[in-house]
Amino acid sequence: MDQQAQTLTETTPPIGRFVDVDGRRLWVDTREGPGPCAVFLPGSGEMGLDLWQSYESVTRSRAGVIYDRAGTGWSSPVALPRTAAAVAEELDSLLRALGVTGAVVLVGHSLGGAYAQRFAQLFPDRVAGMVLLDPVHGAWNEAMPEHLRIEANASTAVVVTDEHRAAGRRWRESVTTDLPLEVRELVRARHAADGLRTGPREGANFIEILDELGSGPFAAPTIVLRAGAVDPLQAQFSSDDDLREQGAALRRMYDAALPAGSLCRELPTATHSDIALLFADDVAAAVNDLEAILRTR
């Protein structure tokens, strides 16, 4: 971690608080309200504040938790990558420390969706259901044509240039304009300091995480929100044709993974990177729809 990132990690954001969990300091923000509590799990290289708008929308009518898992955001540093089980066990400890009882709804984006699934596998009694935004699933490589399958350590082999970082900063500025000022500046500064380093580190054990999850159905009632548009950040590393082919494979994979009563909903203008940032109303609607599904079970 460079000096700028270390300094930001050691600061205290003006919102949320720190909780000691298993010898580490985790940043967390909580909202009171009726259950089931919605717990947000950001994607690879992301942090809790990246999900702020969805968190705000969802917690208008229910309890909620956003947090930075160890090694991300303002939480304590930890060696990366981590197993999905380690992240799930940390979340279980955090929820216990917060006094969150009863089954929760997990809202996970991308790799955070994989961590949500592993939590549901390990702690099935703690999960009422899941809303997953373009999530990783264990059948990923099985679903992909051979040329789009991910190999071991693929994320760390990607060369991130200054041009990529500049494009990332411009994109971050464009998708965070509606955040409250104190949140917007925190998000922009933290990502600028990170320089696109944490994401590849978290995803370095992608193949091992697929093996952890297995290729079976989602372990709880689930609504998947799928991005329907080509992602401009991913397009820096893959062709539009490959991304469209990947999207079609993901659609088939999600449909095959849905347990009875679950559903997949495509958001045609959402991209993988902005689905958790710009589509907060859709996320809130999915959480409400999931609760309706749960009432009929």
pLDDT tens digits for range 21-76: 999 999 999 999 987 999 999 999 899 999 999 999 999 989 999 999 999 999 99
- Is residue 198 within 8 A of residue 238, CB to CB? The reply is no
For residues 73-98, give the mean pLDDT. Answer: 96
Q: Are strands 263-267 and 104-109 parallel, antiparallel or unpaired?
A: unpaired
pLDDT tens digits for range 237-277: 677 788 888 888 899 999 999 998 899 999 999 998 899 88
pLDDT tens digits for range 157-185: 566 677 777 777 787 787 888 888 888 88
| Element containing residue 225 per DSSP (H, E) | strand 222-227
What pLDDT score does 163 carry?
A: 77
Torsion angle, alpha carbons of 46, 11, 197, 132, to 10: -10
Partners of 264 in the β-ladder? 224
| Element containing residue 210 per DSSP (H, E) | helix 206-213
